[in-house]
Amino acid sequence: MQDVVQWLKEHGNLKIIDEPLDVELEIPHVAYIEVKKEDSRPLLFTHPINKAKGIEYTMPVLMNIFASKALTQKIFGKHPDELADGIDALLKLKPPKGLKATLQMLPKALSLKNVFPKRLTKRGRCQEVIVPKAQVDLDTLPILKTWEEDGGAFITMGQVYTQSLDGQMQNLGMYRLQQYDKNRLGMHWQIHKDASHFFDQYQKAGKKMPITVAIGGDPLYIWCGQAPMPYGMFELLLYGYARNANAKLVKSISNDIYIPHDVDVVIEGFVDPTLTEIEGPFGDHTGYYTLKEPFPVMEVETITMKKNPVFQATVVGKPPLEDKYMGWATERVFLPMLKPMAPDLIDYNMPENGVFHNLILAKMKTLYKGHALQFMHAFWGVGQMSFVKHALFVGEDAPELEESQALTLHILNRLDKDKILITKGIVDHLDHSSDEQFVGGKLGIDATGDEVAQGLDSLLSDKALEAKIKAILPDVTAIKQYFTQSKNPLCVIQIDKQTSMKEEIPKLASLAPHIKVLIIIDQANNDIEDAYMLVWRVVNNIDASRDVQLEPFISIDATSKSTLDGFTREWPKDTLCTKSVLDSLQEKGIIDIDEAFIKKFGLLDF
């Protein structure tokens, strides 16, 4: 992929938008809407501008590179399952016994020669233009502001290259970077990330930490940056394996970090470990704003670039988004890497409306009682899987994990209070629902085995059940039952919340003959008919140790939490589009959406 734009024109149905559009809100809103369509396409904005700063940028903005499964597969050059098969074979390699076994293994051993990055001694294409420190101006880059309440403009597809203090380990991560001014960026590496571990080393030594941020080049660089590689392994090893070609690296101009020779833009600098600055808020991939928090600051030393660079960016917010397809590839490729710690694992799926770390579905061979419990603890105890909040396990007789309707019915027919595990553990840096940051509730459901014997005693219609519920809780505004044909129907109720649900749920005990699973959501900004977005809301908003009760029936309190609930942290807002921007884009003919689309994906308040 020497020319990604040309490749996308030929293979990705690239949509080119020549209308001058603002990097603040307009371009991100167009990309946000496009990626939610069934026929989503990559986008090239040829005339980005910044109205507030009076800037007309000279480089175009490329977005939605991973626009679909089909395009993601083309970027890889093969189905990710094929790549996984290769990794699986490598993991199973054993020392050969005898000459015949040695000869049989030789082709696999030779294939490793392309895995390791190759360091070039000359400058790369990414260094055709060199901007010295005195002339550095981040305003020359079309950095996007995605959401109205974002703390500023953010680089959203930066490849952040770092190395350990002793220079023995390199890391590639994909972290957002807030632009503070012409030569400073906020480094949002979360506390659990490898770059943060390196930072700790420099901080203890009292030394500045070198950093190089690359933008553009082969899209696989971006994918590698978010891949959950084991600690200490350089992510570009995965690039070499996927491409069957060494990643070609060149040394940064102002530090000793090596980066791919063919990226479009390179930002080099240092972090002073004694300095932090407030970063955020930022509308993140959870669909919520992450709150203001101090993070290290990168002081830019130089910027280099190709002669005709393209600025790559992504947009994050409520699903579905580009990370859906990047995550799909990651999920497929890394399946074999889970099997050594869970050898009876058949498959797993992390649905994008579970924002990946909030929900995992797994299919397994169950060989003995408690086997699923063993898997839960294994998953919660290793690498990035340890951040998963909710894990649901089914047996090998279950439907395919992406067949959401059939799978949900299968699970509900096997849902048993005695096979639900609620515990505590580490949670993602971005999780907002736990009472304290980084530690929160975990929910595990063992839906392996046979169907439960007992269903509802008495199934009522939605109208009849609503009347009974409202007689007890008058603040309920609507109800809807899902999967009434199952042994454990779901009863979703909307409420104009006035008090803690812990006080309200026991009042419904008399309705236990008619309710198996109760899910409570706020009236505001929730469509009780939209199951896809209800899953997103529920898994975001609950801490199982606080919000899941098993008596008088299974209840899940997915309302926003406040001092009413004894919750003392700040509860963040949803990411919402700016109506005036949507209206303007509609008038220009850049987007074409209706009220149903807006409501379906929660683009605006309702």
In the prediction, which pLDDT does 255 show? Answer: 95
In the prediction, which pLDDT does 91 show? Answer: 47
> How many angstroms separate the CA atoms of 227 and 213, rounded?
17
Q: Which pair of tokens denotes residue 496?
A: 């104009």
Q: What is the dihedral of CA 13, 14, 15, 17, to 10 degrees?
A: -160
Sequence letter at residue 57: Y
Residue 336's pLDDT band (cuts 50, 70, 90): confident
- To the nearest whole number, what is the mean pLDDT of the chain? 92
Q: For the whole model, what pTM was predicted?
A: 0.92
- Checking if the pLDDT of 109 tops 60, the result is no
Secondary structure, 3-state, 430-459: CCCCCCECCEEEEEEEEECCCCCCCCCCCC
Overall average pLDDT of the 445-462 stretch: 94
- Cβ–Cβ contacts within 10 Å for residue 457, how many? 10
> How many angstroms separate the CA atoms of 9 and 409, rounded?
42
Q: Which pair of tokens denotes residue 116?
A: 């390791």
> How many angstroms separate the CA atoms of 213 and 301, rounded?
12
In the prediction, which pLDDT does 106 show? Answer: 52
> How many angstroms separate the CA atoms of 587 and 581, rounded?
10
Q: Where are the domains of the chain?
A: 4-312, 341-447, 462-565, 576-606
- Checking if the pLDDT of 233 tops 90, the result is no
Task: Give the model confidence (pLDDT) of 359-378 as tens digits.
Answer: 999 999 999 999 999 999 98
- Cβ–Cβ contacts within 10 Å for residue 458, how many? 9
Is 215 within 8 Å of 157 (Cβ atoms)? yes
Q: Which pair of tokens denotes residue 515?
A: 């309710």
CATH topology of domain 4-312: Pnp Oxidase; Chain A (2.30.110)
CATH class for the region spanning 462-565: alpha beta
- Checking if the pLDDT of 90 tops 60, the result is no
Edge to edge, the sheet with strand 311-312 lists 15-17, 43-45, 61-63, 311-312
Is 481 within 8 Å of 462 (Cβ atoms)? yes
Secondary structure, 3-state, 230-264: CCCCCCHHHHHHHHCCCCEEEECCCCCCEEECCCC
Secondary structure, 3-state, 535-567: HHHHHHHCCHHHHEECCCCEEEECCCCCHHHCC
C-alpha closest to that of 378 among 333, 339, 428, 334: 339
Residue 266's pLDDT band (cuts 50, 70, 90): very high
Q: What architecture is domain 341-447? A: 3-Layer(aba) Sandwich (3.40)
What is the Rg, in whole angstroms, of the alpha carbon atoms belonging to the chain?
25
- Checking if the pLDDT of 93 tops 50, the result is no
- Checking if the pLDDT of 334 tops 90, the result is no
- Residue 113 has φ and ψ, to the nearest 5°, of -65, -20
Question: Which one has a higher pLDDT value, 228 or 484?
Answer: 484
Task: Give the model confidence (pLDDT) of 69-80 as tens digits.
Answer: 999 999 999 999
In the prediction, which pLDDT does 606 show? Answer: 85
What is the DSSP annotation of 49-109?
EETTTTEE-SS-EEE-SS-SHHHHHHHHTS-HHHHHHHHHHHHT-----HHHHHHHHHHHH
- Checking if the pLDDT of 230 tops 80, the result is no
C-alpha closest to that of 439 among 176, 192, 187, 173: 192
Given this chain, do its domains 341-447 and 462-565 carry the same CATH topology? yes
Is 250 within 8 Å of 127 (Cβ atoms)? yes
